[in-house]
Amino acid sequence: MDATKGKVDQGMQNPGGQMDKPVGYHFMESMLPKVVKRRVHALKRLQVQCANIEAKFYEEVHELERKYAALYQPLFEKRRDIVTGTVEPTDEECEWHSDREEEEELAEEIKEKAVIEDSKKEEATPQEDAKGIPEFWLTIFKSVDMLSDMLQEHDEPILKHLKDIQVKFSEPGQPMSFTLEFHFEPNGYFNNAVLTKVYKMKSEPDASDPFSFEGPEIIDCEGCQIDWHKGKDVTVKTIKKKQKHKGRGTVRTITKQVPNDSFFNFFNPVKVSPDGEMDEDSEFTLATDFEIGHFFRERIVPRAVLYFTGEALEDDESEQDEEGDDDDDEGDFDPKKEQPQPAECKQQ
Amino acid sequence: MDATKGKVDQGMQNPGGQMDKPVGYHFMESMLPKVVKRRVHALKRLQVQCANIEAKFYEEVHELERKYAALYQPLFEKRRDIVTGTVEPTDEECEWHSDREEEEELAEEIKEKAVIEDSKKEEATPQEDAKGIPEFWLTIFKSVDMLSDMLQEHDEPILKHLKDIQVKFSEPGQPMSFTLEFHFEPNGYFNNAVLTKVYKMKSEPDASDPFSFEGPEIIDCEGCQIDWHKGKDVTVKTIKKKQKHKGRGTVRTITKQVPNDSFFNFFNPVKVSPDGEMDEDSEFTLATDFEIGHFFRERIVPRAVLYFTGEALEDDESEQDEEGDDDDDEGDFDPKKEQPQPAECKQQ
């Protein structure tokens, strides 16, 4: 983009002059005859009207999503009950076409030796009496890079108590938002049964830049207070510091609490500055947070089991491979991920 | 993806063995205790149900798109009338906030010299009596790399006669598809007033691979017969070839028609093989064609003026820049382009 802009500016300073080595074809609106330029402006006004219609479209898509959230709900509850071991699925509910195929293939491939190993392993496994699917969500956190980047060793025992993640949409008529709910079983770390993160969205074109509108975008988020048990807060660490008295020269040791890396900082996000002025680090942190929130909503929660087994990861990676071939100017245009896009992540 | 698969296979062949340098965390479904594995299968069955619900969601999104197409229609007709010069917009319709700003900035920047140049240019411009917006669509074809890649010099005079591009959606109850209509004014090249390209879509999960479902995908397309005037068909060229008679040694010159590069080959696409077997070249050509069809539908037609002025190109490019920073495993995950995605491009 910068390159293009540079070219256009250059052209404007030398109207009619030859641009050196133009990369592709660059048209200059400013060079149009006045009568044509005013017609182009008329088209731009029409385009603003289109953006306003588009905003209504995305509101309706949001309503559709609310409607469908209710249809998914019973399936997600069933999932939670199986994950936590509250419900044991029937044999019929567990029938999976690949069961036999997989076993046959495996038997074929690894032959006797491996089979012996396998039976040994099974004997040695104490988890045959496991409840539900142990470490279901923790496994997902470890498998998905975007999440494992946040994950620290001290977070892992806590996340073993994570029972479910749910997405709740704002009610109609309310400002558009969605809430991620992290449901925990009683644990030795904090008292909250649910930790929440709310993502606020904006779904109308910006008056000052209507053409950048591409559907709802996340504009802010809010965490929650975690009611940690004494000494269990992993988001802080206590450091000891020796302090020398300037006058007397005596040394004393003080303890000090400092921030500590942890996934649970997710519930204490950077604040969006009301005047829009933020330093680059905070902006980056916030943009990443919005991406993660969006990823939970769009990918992890709707298809958790596929992240647990790794199937969804393979899809994500293969799409990345395909994109490698794409080197045109619209390089990032992935028709698989195009439209409508009711949840853009952008801080203001 | 291949790397991951390799890792998993390797792990399966050496159960319990250490994988060399594991890249990230890789969980192995096959290592789960049997009781847990069957619960995971229960979750997979629930996930298939989710995919089926999702398919219904996308059908409703398609209906919404049909509904909104009707709302955009009058604006697109107005656009066409302004582009072709059928209608001259009023002064009010042409008022654009940047008019004064732009002029002031320009005046500030380029000072007197350029202003003089500018007025010279205007004097010299014979286009002040231009009709509509000359070469509106051709300019877009030249500006967008995905289209300019197809464009040949001999296509340009023909595309000057392109009046409008429209998208028409399939009727409810019909198999899902959309049609691109290229409307031409009478011209010296072919008799058709409209050239069409139909993109057929599929909007249900594949029974053999339900988890890959991410919304409707383009599965096939169909062009149209162009009724070229004699000698005007730019998609073929006549070559002269000298042929030597083997026995007699005499030489004669024969003429032969061979395919010629042209945008108009877009209306004579590669056929999808019914048995799914296609060579790599044809697959690539078809995948590119689907991408272009999707791009016309989602970007060019809805926001043509922004591609004409270049504003949309800058957006596309700046998004590409942003993506450069993103190097996690879900590297291609762009929250701006995520969900719902009712038009995926994939051939079967």
What is the pLDDT averaged over residues B223-246?
A: 92
A280-288 average pLDDT score: 91
If one compares B15 and B292, the residue with the highest pLDDT of the two is B292
Q: Which residues of B touch A142 (CB under 8 A)?
A: 25, 27
Whole-number pLDDT of residue A26: 56
**Predicted local confidence at residue A106, as pLDDT:** 54
Nearest to B137 by CA among B123, B120, B155: B155
Name which of A40-44, A336-340, B288-292 the model is least confident about.
A336-340
pLDDT at residue A344 tops 60? no
Residue A338's pLDDT is 35
How far is the C-alpha of B345 from the C-alpha of A170, rounded, in Å?
Answer: 32
Q: Which of A78, A158, A174, A148 is nearest to A295 (CA)?
A: A148
- B133 with A36: Cβ contact below 8 A: yes
Q: How confident is the model at residue B205 (pLDDT cuts 50, 70, 90)?
A: very high
How far CA A275 is from CA of A203, A271, A272, in Å, comes to 20, 11, 9
Would you state the pLDDT for residue A301?
A: 97
Q: What is the DSSP letter of B344?
A: E
Mind listing the pLDDT tens digit for each residue in B145-166? 999 999 999 999 999 999 999 9
What would the mean pLDDT of A234-251 be, rounded to a whole number? 87
Predicted local distance difference test score (pLDDT) of residue B250: 85
Å between B312 CA and nearest CA of chain A = 8
Residues from chain B that touch A30, judged by Cβ atoms under 8 A, are 102, 106
The pLDDT of residue A65: 94
So what's the pLDDT on residue A100?
A: 56
Contact B342 A339 (CB under 8 A): yes
Cβ-nearest to B40 among A128, A305, A323: A305
- B329 compared with B35, residue with greater pLDDT: B35
Across the interface, of B33, B121, B214, the residue whose CB is closest to A15 is B121
Subunit contact B316:A339, Cβ cutoff 8 A: no
pLDDT band for position A229 (cuts 50, 70, 90):
very high
Higher pLDDT among residues B270 and B126, named by residue: B270
Rounded mean pLDDT, B111-122: 48
- Residue B335 confidence (pLDDT): 37
Instruction: Report how far residue A24's alpha carbon sits from residue B13's, in angstroms, rounded to the nearest whole number.
Output: 52
The mean pLDDT value for B295-317 works out to 89
Residue carrying the six token digits 């910006």: A206
pLDDT at B203 over 70: yes
The model's confidence at residue A198, banded by pLDDT at 50, 70 and 90, is very high
Q: What is the pLDDT of residue B7?
A: 30
Q: What is the pLDDT of residue A27?
A: 59
Cβ–Cβ gap B15/A117 under 8 Å: yes
Confidence of residue B13 (pLDDT cuts 50, 70, 90): very low
Residue A1 has pLDDT above 80, yes or no: no
Query: pTM (2 decimals)?
Result: 0.78
Residue among B256, B259, B277, B281 nearest B268 (CA): B259
pLDDT of residue A7: 30
Mean per-residue pLDDT over chain B, rounded: 80
pLDDT greater than 60 at residue B176: yes
- Which pLDDT score is estimated for B101? 57
- Report the percentage of chain A scoring pLDDT > 70: 73
Average pLDDT value over all residues in chain A: 80
Q: Please give the residue of chain B at the shortest CA–CA distance from A85.
A: B39
Q: What is the pLDDT of residue A114?
A: 47
Euclidean distance between CA atoms A223 and A52, whole angstroms: 31
H-type alpha helices, B14-133: 34-84, 91-94, 98-124
Chain A nearest-CA residue for B311: A211
- Among candidates A324, A320, A333, A325, which has minimal Cα distance to B146? A333
Question: If pLDDT is split at 50, 70 and 90, which confidence band does B181 have?
Answer: very high
At A15, the pLDDT band (50, 70, 90 cuts) reads very low
Neighbours of B186 (CB within 10 A): 9
* Most distant CA pair in chain A, distance: 84
